[in-house]
Amino acid sequence: MEKIKTALIDFLHKSGFEGKLDEMNYLDLWPQVAGPQVMKHASPVSLKEKKLWVEVSDNVWVYHLTMLKPRLIKEFNKVAGFKAIEEIKFMNVDFPSSRRKFEMHKGINADEENNTHISNMPVVLSIEEKEVLQKIAQNSPSHFKEHLHKLLRGSLLRQKRRRKSGAVDCYTCGFPYYREEMKGELCLLCFQKYNYWKKILRPLFYRTPWVKFEQLKAIYPSLESSIFDICQEKAKQQYYKRLKKILNRGSFRKDLKQKILIRIIQRFVMLSEKKDPTQLKKQDMINAVQFFPEFNRIMDICFSEEAIE
């Protein structure tokens, strides 16, 4: 039983449910709480740490909704079935653009006059998905079983609908987002995490490029392997850009250019293969650059007979 419990907890963590359920489900409660009139002027954009952030069209509505805040919080928690929020923050923003973001988040085609919601799109859960949800619900507290099962089921169905309507999975959290909601391969939330860890990992990759994820995980328990992989890939791209820049500079003497290029390639190999300097061999470096478009030039400059012994 303990193994099953551990596996289910691990499933919740890896699938992103722990951090995403509020974001993916509770925002949908806003129309029921606010009503159609308020919905024309206020759109929820985020729910974090029991704080709901709502974009509002103008200062008049900000004032009006601020007066209604206690009632809105009470009604929101009533609809949610428990104390989902403790605070609501209203932001006066450029409403047309924020409305478009909200519509994309909700999966609404704003170009259609009837604003048909993607929730009408038929999708079904697989037998395996149903079994997993059932196991998770069975191992949750009795008073929360039905509510948790409903939330997880709704989240999975929403993910499937979004993917069916053109959303793509975030590289890190695996949840589907539309391109307008992403920065490259990352959703906006994961992009923020990436920017945070980039500042920490970049100097580490420079000083000890052979450092492994397991070693850093012991120091930084909250570091995720997907974030580590992205930061490492970005560092490799930077080494490659620097290599091309040095190759194309004509002001260097050949021996100096050779020395700089070899050092860049060594760091590239240490970062890619996780080999420390004592393990590096000439063939490792040749293998690392063999698929580069500049391979022949690199071979000519760096790996002639007198290059590396």
Confidence at residue 56, expressed as pLDDT on a 0 to 100 scale: 84
Confidence at residue 253, expressed as pLDDT on a 0 to 100 scale: 85
Report residue 60: phi and psi, to 5°.
-60, -45
Domains and CATH numbers, the chain: 2-120 (3.30.300.180), 191-302 (no CATH)
Confidence at residue 78, expressed as pLDDT on a 0 to 100 scale: 86
What are the residues whose beta carbons fall under 8 Å from the beta carbon of 293, sequence distance 6 or more?
A: none
Confidence at residue 231, expressed as pLDDT on a 0 to 100 scale: 93
Q: Which H/E stretch holds residue 122?
A: none
Residue 256: other Cβ atoms inside 10 A: 11
Question: Which residues of the chain are modeled with pLDDT < 70?
Answer: 1-26, 93-121, 140-141, 143-144, 304-309
Report DSSP letters for 31-63, one per residue.
Answer: HHHHHHHHHTTEEEEEEETTEEEEEESSHHHHH
Confidence at residue 81, expressed as pLDDT on a 0 to 100 scale: 76
Confidence at residue 108, expressed as pLDDT on a 0 to 100 scale: 41
Confidence at residue 111, expressed as pLDDT on a 0 to 100 scale: 38
pTM: 0.56
Beta bridge partners of 91: 55
What are the residues whose beta carbons fall under 8 Å from the beta carbon of 135, sequence distance 6 or more?
A: 4, 8
